[in-house]
Amino acid sequence: MRPSVVVSSLVAAVVGFGSTLALVIAAAAAVGATTQQTASMVTAVCLAKAAEALFLSWWTRMPVITAWSTPGAALLGASTGFTMADAVGAFIGAALLLMLTGLMRPLTRLVSMIPSSVASGMLAGIVVAFVMGAARAVGMDAILVLPLLLAFFVLRLFNPALSVLAVLVGGAVLAFALGRVGSLPAFELSTLVWTSPDFSLTAFIGLAVPLYLVTMASQNLAGIAVLRAAGYNPPTGLLIGTTGFVSLLSAPFNALTTNLAAISAAICTDPDAHPDAGKRWLTGPFYALWYVVFAIFGASLVALFDVLPQSLILLVAGVGLLAPLTNALGLAMADPTERVPAIVAFSVTASGLTIGGVGAAFWGLVAGLFVLVLDRLAARRRKRR
């Protein structure tokens, strides 16, 4: 046991929580969640992550770190026409698909067969609206936003992981100093709120399936890759199936789907956490402890976000997704032969297209795969000639 274990777990928890909390709150607002439902979402997700990290790290003796689905939150935030009850039904559907994937290895391989270019194009189309929202925030309140943007781009040169958190904390202080914040909310302990799910084919296809796909392609597979890069041999089925099961239990309390982490996991799998790879699993229980603390204060944090300026929320959500957007666009354009399908997936998803109540993320993926199949068939015909 070393102090570095505690410090690494704390840094991973703070970075994962603080840098994307604004996005999760924006996602809840998009489906009409009440303040109580939003607080329950944050609380339930924190408890889910704590349970997953504690159990999986102890069981596997690996530093298994979990997170809420950042692209899933972006997908929810970009959706239209759905209620919180629809979202809960979609969370349950995505959780069942994750459990099924954990039990059936062919499903994991099937998802991994989706070209990263098309999947990344879809993901980029989901998050680009939030990054553009950060630019729009300048027009809403330039005095508040411009100094924070400058600070973000300077700080990311030294510590990209903490730069978003610095903007959030510094922005709250600056907003208060400029008189942009009303009366501060009173402290309150978090509570869980049950929401009965609404199940519909539209919500399943438009929310659950895209949520499952982006969670698998952008989070779970990346999380497995981080563990393997650190020299571990993770039991893929167990990890994915467990996060799906816990997500199923937490979904009725408005909890967004949880999954394996990548960035936070990289902090805890690094030798700086512990020089002995066999002891780094100890970061998992401490990571769980920090998220129990976050769960206790979840209601107060949501109430605090409610009194912050909308321009600040847009800014934090936008800069928090700048790195995922950059990475997604880079992967989408990496293979010259798949650039057109990737751009099609990106464009259709970013358009906000809705057909039959089914959202743009699903149609973006379908359109990208369709064009990809056509391109590959044409390429085969040219080779035969």
Q: What pLDDT score was predicted for residue 98? A: 94
Q: What pLDDT score was predicted for residue 374? A: 93
* pLDDT tens digit at each of 385 positions of the chain: 678 788 788 878 877 787 678 888 889 999 999 989 999 999 999 999 999 999 999 999 999 999 988 888 888 888 888 999 999 999 999 999 999 998 887 777 777 677 878 888 887 887 788 789 889 999 998 999 999 999 999 988 887 767 877 888 888 899 988 888 877 777 778 889 999 999 999 889 889 998 998 888 778 877 887 788 778 888 888 999 999 999 999 999 999 999 998 767 877 887 877 888 888 899 999 999 999 988 998 888 778 777 888 888 888 878 877 877 887 888 889 889 899 999 999 999 888 887 766 667 778 888 999 999 999 898 888 887 7
Of 213, 162, 166, 227, nearest in space to 12 by CA: 162
List, in sequence order, the alpha helices (H) in 297-338: 298-307, 310-320, 322-332
The secondary structure of 115-140 as a DSSP string is -HHHHHHHHHHHHHHHHHHHHHHHHH
pTM: 0.78
Residue recorded with tokens 């290895």: 105
Cβ distance 123 to 368 under 8 Å?
A: no
Cβ distance 145 to 168 under 8 Å?
A: no
C-alpha 162/C-alpha 196 separation (Å) is: 37
Q: What pLDDT score was predicted for residue 292? A: 93
Q: What pLDDT score was predicted for residue 161? A: 64
C-alpha 321/C-alpha 329 separation (Å) is: 12
Cβ distance 30 to 77 under 8 Å?
A: yes
Phi, psi of 234 (to 5 degrees): -70, 140
Torsion of CA 211, 217, 218, 221, to 10 degrees: 130
Structure tokens given for 115 = 């070209």
Q: For residue 355, give the DSSP letter.
A: B
Q: What pLDDT score was predicted for residue 230? A: 79
C-alpha 84/C-alpha 33 separation (Å) is: 6
Q: Residue 37 sits in which domain range? A: 3-384
Q: What pLDDT score was predicted for residue 271? A: 81
C-alpha 360/C-alpha 77 separation (Å) is: 12
Q: What pLDDT score was predicted for residue 264? A: 75
Q: What pLDDT score was predicted for residue 358? A: 65
C-alpha 67/C-alpha 18 separation (Å) is: 12
Cβ distance 288 to 47 under 8 Å?
A: no
Task: Provide the domain count of the chain.
Answer: 1
Cβ distance 68 to 257 under 8 Å?
A: yes
